[in-house]
Every structure is written in structure tokens, then in C-alpha cells.
Structure 1
Amino acid sequence: MTEKLYFRGENVIVNTVNAVRRFIDYLKYERNYSEKTLQGYSLDLEEFQKYYTAIDETLDWKTIDGDVVRGWMESMMDRGNSAASVNRRLSAVRSFYRFALAEGLVEKDPVRMVKGPQKEKRLPGFVRDDDMQALLDSRMWNMESFNDVCERTILLLFYETGVRLSELVSLNDNMVNLETMSLKVTGKRNKQRIIPFGEELKDAIIYYIGIRDSEVTRLDDALFVDIKGKRLDGAAVRYRVVKNLSRVCTLKKKTPHVLRHTFATTMLNHGAGLESVQKLLGHESLSTTEIYTHTTFEKLKEIYKVAHPRQ
């Protein structure tokens, strides 16, 4: 038997097992889930029910085991569903069983030991070295224009230090030590770190500050300001980065975070150790930094294909 539940006039068929109905009611009335989310959960549970009754019509929510759940996952993957889609549907079933177990409606949770498929980690996009060199070439800019000098300095700072967008817009003059050539930034969870930089960025900052102080009246201690003297916010910096990266590359994403990826990839490609890059980026876990090794490996494969005579 089946029963119809109504969400905004649309029929959603769910199993009439009392546990399923109570679960949907719990989400609706006690957790205040949206009708769209309730519909999604209902459809996911219905799909699971269709699967297990098709393989064995004697099965029900109480007799299902982990193998049945794994088989359902495999069937979805075989039909071309992404790992994210499978995990979303698995999450609905997992939530149902947690509820049913807590309410004493089932005696076991067959999903407890089931792991969903791993999502494919997308390799971070980065700008090629020659494109960055072309973009940062001073001949590409009007070095007498405050806006041009400011934008070039921002790009160079991202590229040479790998700072986050939030860290860059928070910079004040006193956080830049030109003598030691280092930045003091405040990262996630208010953790501070010191990042070194080179002579090129030092010269660029000195030049920028000179033009800034002669043409702009700053309204606070911000390093990077607009022509009115106001601190540049994240949206303003993001706009400038996207605009200028579009001059040299065709990446789909041209955000400040791409320049952070570019910094990490460039460092590793030129011999920096993984732990050193981790500290420079402010990553708590080395595994977060390890994604960039995949990028460098892809570059190695390209070099191998070009250089090896048997390829």
C-alpha cells in the first residue's frame, strides 16, 4: 500500500510504513525543514524502496542490511550518477535510520557502517608562469596611474605570498615590514603568520605607497585603498583580479583564490617542500596542501610526454 503526501499541490509517493511517515512528519513539524527538502527526502526514500523491493519483494525497512545499501549505491553509480548525487541520496536514508533507531522503530541501522563514494577532488586551477610574467610586466601598465599601480601591486602580492583575499584586504601599512621583507597576516581562526617576500614586491609596494600618498587621502590605515581613500573590500579586489586575469588567461575561474593556487603550484614546481608551502599558506593540515602535488604531477606528466623519446 502507498499513501500520498502533498507538498504545494504536488503528489509525493512514500512508503506507508509508519516509520517513514513519522520521519517525514518529524522533519516537517519539529525540524522545520522546507517543503522542497521534504520532497527531496521523500523521493530519495521512495527510490530506495523501489530498489530493494525490485531485488527482493520480501524485504522491508527492518530486514535490509548493509549489502543492500551498497548495491543501491553501485546501481546509481552504474547509471552515471555523480558521487555527490549518490551521497545526497544516501544521506536521506542515513538520516531516516538514525531517526528510526532513536525512536525504537527498527532494531539496527544498516547504513551505519556504509561509506559513500569519494567525491573526485578537482585539481585547483592556476595561471601558468609565462602568463603571470606577461601580466606583471610593467610595460602592461600605466605606471603613472594610481589605479594601475594599485592593481598591479595587488596581483603581485597575491602571486608572491599566496595570501587569502580576506588577509589581503585586512592589511594595514604597519603589517608590512619592508626592512625584513615580510607580511604579518591574520588567517582563519585569528591565527597569525609571517610571510616573506622578495625584492620585486618590496619595490612594487614602495612605489605604490609613494603614488598613493601623493594622490590619495587615506581614511584609515589600510594598505590598499581606492581613489577616495577608502579601504578596498573583497568585492572590489575580486573585480580587479578577474578583470586583469582575463587579459592573459582563459581559465573559467579567475578569482583571487586562483592566484593562491598559482602561488602554491609555482612554489612546489620550483622545489619548495610541502611542509614549507603548508606554513606559508596557513593550512592546519598537510593533507590540505597535498592537493597541489596532484597539480605538479600533472605538469610532470606533460613534460614526460614531450621529453621522452618513446612517447
Structure 2
Amino acid sequence: MNREVVNFFLQHLQVERRLSPLTLRSYEIDLIQFLDFLALDSHQITQIKAQTIRLWLVELSNIGIQNRSINRKLATLRTFFKYLQRRGDVTDNPMQTIRMVKTSKSLPTYLRESEMEQVFAQQEIPKNTFEEVRDQLVLMLLYGTGMRLAELIQLSNQQLNLASKTLRVIGKRNKERIIPMPQLLVDLVKQYQSLNPFQSHSLLLTDKGEPCYPMFIQRLVKKYLGEVSTLEKLSPHVLRHSYATHLLNRGADLNAIKELLGHANLAATQVYTHNSMEKLKEIYKQAHPKA
């Protein structure tokens, strides 16, 4: 019964809200973990109380789940129980009295411009194979446009307009945005397409001609960034953070960066101003005689 209710909810997210496969997978993982906890005492998900959710939070904390991840799971439950309430499956929403747990604010992790120059200096060595150019294109798309991983793997050939040097990205909640492409990226796409031996709707393909998947891109990015950086977390999102931070450092308007990143509100973009402030502090310490 519990799993059936969850499946209906996931279908609702996919069909009516049109969430990305990665987001759907996150919802599914969170809810399956919650179902496993409920199964210990044979609870029905439509009959639980707030106290049961609080006990689950305690268990998550005890096994070492970070507060930020716990809050994501709470957000999943909040959406889920609102759905059940609209359907009439529950009358009292148990999430109404549950509050998010406190988290420490962390600045986005990014690579310095000099490190990104090293990444692409290595890539400037002439590439002659489909695989080599594909790897180079993945890095340039992530850093040259700031797109998300989910947006990258869903990218189709039809979304690129090489004549106008623009890229149409389908972001969260199916919201579209247009991103300009630097000439270097346009040239790289043309080279990649000329070497591509496969026929596919998807732009980025694996060595076997299948659409690239998240783990494939994550391994690729980690491999190349690991050659120039000692950061603990080297993910595709680091390139997105680097894109935004470097734009801001070079004087780009915050509202323009918001539109390029596809943020719903300016607050999400303003976090990058903290990175720029840290850079100013470093410059001050190095250059000012009284620092």
C-alpha cells in the first residue's frame, strides 16, 4: 500500500510537474528511505503523525546524514504530504509542525581562473578522436554556459543554433532560457559533430553511442579537474559555480548572471557575491601596506 501511494506521487511529478529524471530519482530515494523506516513498525504512510517523522529525523542524524541532506528529505516529505492532502488521503498534514534543521552556510566551491586556464591549456593539444573532442566539449559546455548537469545530459542537437551562437536550455520546471555560446564553443561543437559516427537525438554520447548519463559526466569532470585542483569535491556543479563567480569577478551584472544560470530569484545568485568579497579581501591583504 505504501509503495503504491509513492508510485502514484512519482507519476504525478513526472507527468504533471514534468520534473527532470535526476530530480525524480532524488524524490524516490528519499521516499524509499522513509518507507523503510515506517516498515519497521508497520506504519501506513497515510496515517502517520508528526512524532513519527521526528523519530526518523533523529535516526538520520544518528547515522551521520548531514543537516543539508536532512532538509532535502524534509522538503520531499512536505511536497508529498501536500499531494496526499489534495487527494484527500490525509486530513491532517503531519509536516505542518515540522521545521527545517539548522545548517551552516557554505560558499559555492569553484576553481580559480588560473586553474581553469590550466584545464583548457591541456585541452588545446590537437584532438583527433570522437572521444577526445567529446570530453573537451563537455568541459566547455559546463564552464562556458554554466548549465546544470541535468540540463547537459538532456541536451539535443536541435537546441543549438550555431548561426546565432546561442544555446536553448530546458531547466527546472521545464523553464527555457537562451545562453550565448563563445566562438570557441561553436567551433568545438562543429568539430564534434563532424567526428560523431553515431545517429542520435542527444548531443553528448558515450563511446558506444548511447546518451551520456550523470555518472559518466561526473567521472569525466573529476578526471580532468583533478589534474589541476586539490579540491575535495570536483563535480560538474563546481564548473557552474566557477562560471558564475568568474563572470561576477569580471564585472557582469548580477541580474544577468541570474538569467544565465536560470535561477528563480536573485537570492540564489547573490551567494556568489560572497566569493567575490573573499577575493577582494585576499587582494587587500596582499597589496595594502596596513593589511
User: Normalising by the residue count of structure 2, what TM-score does the alignment of the two structures yield?
Assistant: 0.67
Aligned twin of 1:134:
118
Whole-angstrom distance in 2 between the partners of 1:304 and 1:39: 47
Aligned twin of 1:281:
261
Whole-angstrom distance in 2 between the partners of 1:281 and 1:268: 12
Whole-angstrom distance in 1 between the partners of 2:195 and 2:268: 38
Amino acid at match of 2:257: V
Aligned twin of 2:244:
264
Query: Do the aligned residues in 2 keep the contact of 1:219 with 1:230 (CA within 8 Å)?
Result: no
Aligned twin of 1:239:
219
Q: Which of 223, 226, 249 is the equivalent residue of 2:229?
A: 249
Q: What is the CA-CA distance between 1:155 and the residue it aligns to? A: 0.4
The answer for unaligned runs of 5 or more in structure 1 is 1-25, 45-81, 88-111
Question: Matched residue of 1:119: which SS?
Answer: coil
Distance of aligned partners of 1:229 and 1:37 in 2 relative to their CA distance in 1, 3 Å threshold: same
Whole-angstrom distance in 2 between the partners of 1:209 and 1:187: 24
Q: What is the CA-CA distance between 1:220 and the residue it aligns to? A: 2.0
Q: What is the CA-CA distance between 1:240 and the residue it aligns to? A: 0.6
Aligned twin of 2:128:
144
Q: Which of 177, 192, 206 is the equivalent residue of 1:226?
A: 206
Q: Which of 186, 190, 210 is the equivalent residue of 2:194?
A: 210
Aligned twin of 1:157:
141
Query: Do the aligned residues in 2 keep the contact of 1:126 with 1:259 (CA within 8 Å)?
Result: yes
The structure showing larger relative contact order (alpha-carbon pairs under 8 Å, at least 6 residues apart) is 2
Deviations 1:84-109 (A, max 9, x none): 8xx9xxxxxxxxxxxxxxxxxxxxxx
- 1:284-295 alignment runs, 5 A limit: 284-295=264-275
Whole-angstrom distance in 2 between the partners of 1:148 and 1:194: 27
Aligned twin of 1:38:
55
Question: Matched residue of 2:128: which SS?
Answer: coil
Tell me the matched-pair count.
221
Query: Does the alignment pair 1:124 with 2:104?
Result: no
Whole-angstrom distance in 2 between the partners of 1:273 and 1:283: 14
Distance of aligned partners of 1:302 and 1:219 in 2 relative to their CA distance in 1, 3 Å threshold: same
Question: Matched residue of 2:118: which SS?
Answer: helix
Higher Cα Rg, which structure = 1
Aligned twin of 1:198:
182
Q: What is the CA-CA distance between 1:39 and the residue it aligns to? A: 7.9
Query: Do the aligned residues in 1 keep the contact of 2:123 with 2:136 (CA within 8 Å)?
Result: no
Q: What is the CA-CA distance between 1:37 and the residue it aligns to? A: 6.0
Distance of aligned partners of 1:39 and 1:296 in 2 relative to their CA distance in 1, 3 Å threshold: closer
Q: Which has the higher helix share?
A: 2
Whole-angstrom distance in 1 between the partners of 2:152 and 2:202: 10
Distance of aligned partners of 1:36 and 1:280 in 2 relative to their CA distance in 1, 3 Å threshold: closer
Q: What is the CA-CA distance between 1:178 and the residue it aligns to? A: 0.7
Distance of aligned partners of 1:173 and 1:271 in 2 relative to their CA distance in 1, 3 Å threshold: same
Distance of aligned partners of 1:117 and 1:231 in 2 relative to their CA distance in 1, 3 Å threshold: closer
Whole-angstrom distance in 2 between the partners of 1:40 and 1:139: 46
Q: CA RMSD in A?
A: 3.5
Aligned twin of 1:189:
173
Deviations 1:167-208 (A, max 9, x none): 111111111111111100100000001000211111111112
User: Normalising by the residue count of structure 1, what TM-score does the alignment of the two structures yield?
Assistant: 0.63
Question: Matched residue of 1:291: which SS?
Answer: helix
Distance of aligned partners of 1:117 and 1:36 in 2 relative to their CA distance in 1, 3 Å threshold: closer
